[in-house]
């Protein structure tokens, strides 16, 4: 184990990513939202000005007074893992971390000015060292991405929505914001899972950890491949009614379903993007200021389009079929118009009779153009 992340390496040799930008591992939807927020002049300043209203100071005092702060003297193994994670992701300041008594396995990263990491005793008792390393890497990924600020806002607004539930218009407005923040935060969890994999560098440990969070400490009774098969069955199961129920089930959650997280992480671990990072090719923090908002939104839009196109979910397949059908109709109509009006102009300009070899575009030319137009679109 390391004693100080500034000068030593982790307990086993792991690759380090000096100067890595959080953009390297962020989910496209998460990244586009964060880039836009960071580019919005005064956004962070305005929210930090509200820190007096936010429960951050109260939370810090609460954990300081009623939890165990991780250090060399307390939970030293967790402290080493935290330093290792910060060393690997090159996070200069190591966040404070607390262990709080709660049988439910959970972890979070909150804070406006400085992030703090909180893990429950249920989680500490559930996971082995490599699984826990991935979780701590997950939380350090939140800190590096700046998620802690927006998570604190989400906690505040959720609490506020409960307090003003008797105000009809007020609760509707707050609920709308909370719903949007939850959708973003679910995507941010996928980003942090990737950060956890970059820290742990053991995809099987990441899979086991997610599986244990779903099914408890009965690893001998569980199987990673079968667990991932559940995610595939969940995605394609049922009809349109099930698709609607999936949406309703996930709306109140801040985290994606565990099988979905496992499948997403497994897919990313096998991707070219992940391999490039492991090979040392990744965006640097020094380049963040030059990041294009429009490029990030285009990448996010492309991701969603690809999701719709490849999804096995009945509702998304229907959306894809409708979009594809509209494209086919537009392409076919374009081909007919080109064939009709383009052919007429050619006949008129050349003076050849319809049907003569010079003017006749030949059978199937119009159809071929329409197909080309469809493939380009």
Catalytic residue numbers, as ranges: 139
Task: State the helix-helix crossing angle for 168-200 and 76-88, rounded to 10 degrees.
Answer: 90
Where does residue 355 fall: left (phi above 0), alpha (psi -120 to 50 degrees), or beta otherwise? left
* The two three-digit tokens of residue 370, written as one number: 């329409």
Distance between CA atoms of 205 and 211, rounded to whole angstroms? 10
Centroid of chain to Cα 319: 22
Cα dihedral 335, 339, 340, 343 in deg (nearest 10):
160
Distance CA 159, CA 55 (A): 10
DSSP bridge partners of 108:
118
Q: How far is CA 214 from the centre of its chain?
A: 19
The residue count for the chain? 377
Q: Which residues contact 345 (CB under 8 A, 6 or more apart)?
A: none
Alpha-carbon gap, residue 118 to 200, rounded angstroms: 19
DSSP annotation of 89 reads: T
């Amino acid at each position: 184990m390391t004693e100080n992340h500034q000068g030593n390496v982790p307990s086993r040799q792991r690759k380090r990513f000096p100067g890595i930008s959080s953009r390297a591992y962020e989910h496209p939807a998460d990244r586009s939202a964060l880039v836009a927020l960071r580019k919005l002049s005064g956004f962070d300043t305005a929210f930090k000005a509200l820190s007096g209203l936010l429960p951050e100071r109260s939370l810090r005092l609460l954990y300081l007074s009623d939890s165990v702060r991780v250090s060399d003297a307390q939970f030293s193994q967790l402290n080493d893992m935290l330093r290792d994670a910060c060393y690997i992701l090159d996070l200069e300041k190591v966040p404070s971390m607390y262990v709080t008594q709660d049988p439910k396995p959970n972890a979070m990263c909150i804070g406006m000015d400085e992030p703090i990491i909180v893990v429950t005793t249920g989680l500490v008792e559930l996971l082995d060292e490599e699984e826990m390393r991935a979780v701590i890497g997950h939380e350090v990924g939140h800190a590096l991405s700046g998620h802690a600020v927006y998570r604190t806002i989400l906690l505040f607004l959720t609490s506020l929505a409960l307090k003003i539930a008797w105000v009809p218009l007020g609760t509707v407005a707050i609920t709308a914001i909370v719903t949007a923040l939850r959708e973003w935060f679910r995507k941010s969890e996928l980003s942090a899972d990737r950060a956890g994999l970059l820290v742990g560098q053991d995809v099987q440990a990441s899979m086991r950890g997610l599986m244990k969070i779903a099914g408890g400490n009965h690893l001998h009774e569980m199987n990673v491949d079968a667990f991932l098969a559940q995610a595939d069955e969940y995605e394609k199961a049922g009809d349109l009614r099930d698709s609607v129920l999936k949406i309703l089930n996930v709306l109140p959650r801040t985290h994606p379903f565990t099988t979905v997280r496992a499948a997403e992480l497994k897919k990313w671990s096998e991707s070219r993007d992940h391999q490039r990072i492991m090979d040392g090719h990744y965006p640097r923090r020094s380049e963040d200021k030059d990041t294009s908002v429009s490029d990030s939104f285009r990448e996010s839009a492309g991701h969603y389009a690809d999701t719709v196109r490849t999804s096995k979910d009945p509702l998304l397949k229907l959306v894809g079929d409708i979009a594809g059908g509209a494209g086919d109709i537009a392409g076919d109509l374009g081909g007919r118009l080109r064939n009709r009006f383009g052919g007429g102009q050619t006949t008129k300009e050349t003076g050849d009779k319809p049907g003569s070899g010079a003017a006749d575009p030949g059978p199937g030319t119009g159809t071929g153009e329409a197909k080309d137009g469809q493939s380009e679109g």
